[in-house]
Structure 1
């Protein structure tokens, strides 16, 4: 099935649907990635911190070798981890990711969080995670005083060197994005943030659109990825919400397909994660139906400003460090 694309400000063709690799176990990445390519996926969203880039890289390389796709048909995204924000660490970080993914370049490289942490050498621990010393008596995050504009200058050099075709940011709000656009020599092509009907972020999405920054929404199905970690309750699932189920029934589609279609139809790319081969096929079946204006509005009206992925909450709970970024 052909996946629609969004054209970024610098001319990149970002597939509107991708496969998120977050929380995918290493042994599952290969079969999932290969099947995704067979079904028509060309957009893969990865990160150093996910810990599965070597497995993903082996699968993508094998798919190209086997003639399932060409490298130039793929859009591979990865992200700069928090411990590598200092300018001298940015290029080594992408070079490690490229080696793991078995690629010569990334289609998109993003600053993962606007949080600069103390550097952890590759040989000490990789991926480095959030703690500086996990085995300390009282482990905690340790911040590094690197301004975001210095990190961005180093990101721009990656484009100059041909290591990344496009660069962007994750988990930025309007103020940070506004500031970045004021000083960027190479403008951010993509903003990736949490987006689903419980967290529509209308003002941020509108601002990005008006400034010609393409938006990708992670966790487009909302709660499911966060229930196991206690960050969401079972009854917060949009997959069982009456409005979503009703609209799905009218289109003879599943609730997940309706939620993903809502994301794409509002002009944002979506990167659902799944370890199910059946769900892979379900998730890509988005481009043979369209939600009405009324249905789009009804889904948007479910917004509760409910954020599941909030460092201001999980960093204190899991990493003994108070670290709000959205307040």
Structure 2
């Protein structure tokens, strides 16, 4: 991907491609509002947009990008295959490309492993083929558990570039992230702020106050410094700008340790559990 005019760092994926470490998510953005929201995000400086078939707003994402005047190669776009048994990955991606107005996406993810359907492996095999066809530059998964990752890597020999998972201060997914690091899988955080329920831990307030930033900014800075790709979401332009303003301060090792101590393990999970979908 070509360089952008923003100061967002990039992460090199295990396939040699790069991804902006800070992106913008459109989960739960109403379809009719999406073009305007993404236009604001692009004007703020975001060059990484994360959508999904299941969000029903890919068309608005594509409209905003087409109208932005920004070169397509300068915007990293992710979308996701629902893997819900209703359509093939090939048909779903082609429909997504039609909605977006693209000939390829930068990253295609399997949204959920769907253990009840038993399709974690077959969906991954389909994505490998879509990458070979050039319909997506990079491929990865979302919400895949340790056993899912071990299965797909063991059966195909192809390691996902990314696993997008729920990860925030109170649910840090240490065992899964350790596996990612050992296998060269980039960790991407959804619900990076805790799903709108910011931690009330005193340590977070102390860190934010020490740097003159908001607790949300302190959390997002922690996400970046611990190596995660992060995709905060907001429909308010002022909040988009706040979430983007993360590069004028750095957390110390002691502050990172204090925030790490907020982890509640499995008890901190706030989103859906992959086992139940």
- CA shift at 1:185, angstroms? 4.4
Q: Which residue number in structure 1 is paired with residue 3 of structure 2? A: none
- CA shift at 1:98, angstroms? 0.7
Mapping of residues 151-162 of structure 1, within 5 Å: 151-162=123-134
- CA shift at 1:92, angstroms? 0.5
Q: Which residue number in structure 1 is paired with residue 55 of structure 2? A: 50
Q: Which residue number in structure 1 is paired with residue 198 of structure 2? A: 237
Matched, 1:283 2:235: no
Q: Which residue number in structure 2 is paired with residue 252 of structure 1? A: 212
Question: d(CA) in 2 for partners of 1:293 and 1:255?
Answer: 17
CA RMSD of aligned residues (A): 1.7
User: Could you report, residue by residue, the CA deviation over 1:74-108 in whole angstroms, capped at 9, with x for unpaired residues?
Assistant: 1100110132477xx11000001111111110100
Question: d(CA) in 2 for partners of 1:85 and 1:51?
Answer: 15
Question: d(CA) in 2 for partners of 1:223 and 1:34?
Answer: 23
Q: Which runs of 5+ in 1 are unaligned?
A: 117-142, 225-235, 313-322
Greater Cα radius of gyration, structure 1 or 2:
1
Mapping of residues 31-46 of structure 1, within 5 Å: 31-46=36-51
Q: Which residue number in structure 1 is paired with residue 80 of structure 2? A: 79
Question: d(CA) in 1 for partners of 2:84 and 2:276?
Answer: 17
Q: Which residue number in structure 1 is paired with residue 97 of structure 2? A: 98
TM-score by length of 2: 0.92
Match of 1:148 among 107, 115, 120: 120
Match of 1:274 among 234, 237, 250: 234
TM-score by length of 1: 0.78
Question: d(CA) in 1 for partners of 2:190 and 2:234?
Answer: 12
Q: Which residue number in structure 2 is paired with residue 204 of structure 1? A: 176
SS at match of 2:54: helix
Q: Which residue number in structure 2 is paired with residue 3 of structure 1? A: 8
- CA shift at 1:35, angstroms? 1.9
8 A contact 1:85–1:151 mirrored in 2: no
Mapping of residues 57-72 of structure 1, within 5 Å: 57-63=62-68, 67=69, 69-72=70-73
8 A contact 2:79–2:107 mirrored in 1: yes
8 A contact 2:83–2:119 mirrored in 1: no
User: Could you report, residue by residue, the CA deviation over 1:175-207 in whole angstroms, capped at 9, with x for unpaired residues?
Assistant: 211222222344310010000010011111111
Matched, 1:214 2:186: yes
- CA shift at 1:28, angstroms? 2.6
Q: How many residues align?
A: 270
Question: d(CA) in 1 for partners of 2:171 and 2:120?
Answer: 25
8 A contact 1:168–1:189 mirrored in 2: yes
Question: d(CA) in 1 for partners of 2:8 and 2:214?
Answer: 18
Q: Which residue number in structure 1 is paired with residue 164 of structure 2? A: 192
- CA shift at 1:154, angstroms? 1.1
